[in-house]
Amino acid sequence: MRLRKLLQKVVDNFYFKRTTYSIVTLFGLSILIFAIARVLPGDPARLALGPRAPEDVVERYRALLRLNEPIYIQYYYWLVDVFHGKLGVSLVTFRDVATDILEFLPATIELIIFTLIIDVAGAFILGVLSGRKPNSLIDNFVRIFAYAGIAIPAFVWAIILQLVLANWLDLLPAYGRLSLGIEVKRITGLITVDSLLAGNINAFIDGIRHLIIPSLSLAIGCIAQEARILRANLIENINKDYILNLYSHGIPQSIIFFKYALKPSMIPTVTVMTLDMASMLGNAFLVELIFNWPGLSRYGITAMLRKDLNAIVGVVLVIGIAYTLASILIELLVSVLDPRVKHKR
The contact mask relative to other proteins for 118-157 (x = CB under 8 A, - = no) is ----------------x-----------------------
| CB nearer other proteins, residue 266 or residue 287 | 266
Q: Which of 153, 176, 189, 264 binds other proteins (CB under 8 A)?
A: 264
Q: Which of 47, 193, 246, 333 binds other proteins (CB under 8 A)?
A: 246
Map the footprint of other proteins across residues 21-80, applying CB under 8 A.
none
* C-alpha distance across the termini of the chain, in Å: 25
Taking CB under 8 A as the binding criterion, the range among 94-102, 219-227, 283-291, 331-339 that sits at the site for other proteins is 331-339
| CB nearer other proteins, residue 2 or residue 343 | 343
Q: Which of 70, 85, 199, 339 binds other proteins (CB under 8 A)?
A: 339
Q: Which of 9, 17, 60, 240 binds other proteins (CB under 8 A)?
A: 240
| CB nearer other proteins, residue 5 or residue 343 | 343
Assess contact for 111 and 298: CB atoms under 8 A. Answer: no
| CB nearer other proteins, residue 70 or residue 250 | 250
Binding status of residue 189 toward other proteins by CB under 8 A = no
Size of site (CB under 8 A) for other proteins: 27
Binding status of residue 117 toward other proteins by CB under 8 A = no
Binding status of residue 238 toward other proteins by CB under 8 A = yes
| CB nearer other proteins, residue 101 or residue 234 | 234
Q: Which of 244, 258, 305, 345 binds other proteins (CB under 8 A)?
A: 244
| CB nearer other proteins, residue 246 or residue 328 | 246
> How far apart (Å, rounded) are the C-alpha atoms in residues 212 and 116?
12
| CB nearer other proteins, residue 174 or residue 232 | 232
Binding status of residue 232 toward other proteins by CB under 8 A = no
Q: Residues 6 or more apart from 131 whose CB is under 8 A from it?
A: 230, 231, 232, 233, 234, 235, 238, 265
Binding status of residue 338 toward other proteins by CB under 8 A = yes
CB of 239 to other proteins, least distance (A): 4
Q: Which residues bind other proteins (CB under 8 A)?
A: 134, 235, 238-252, 255, 259-260, 263-264, 337-340, 343
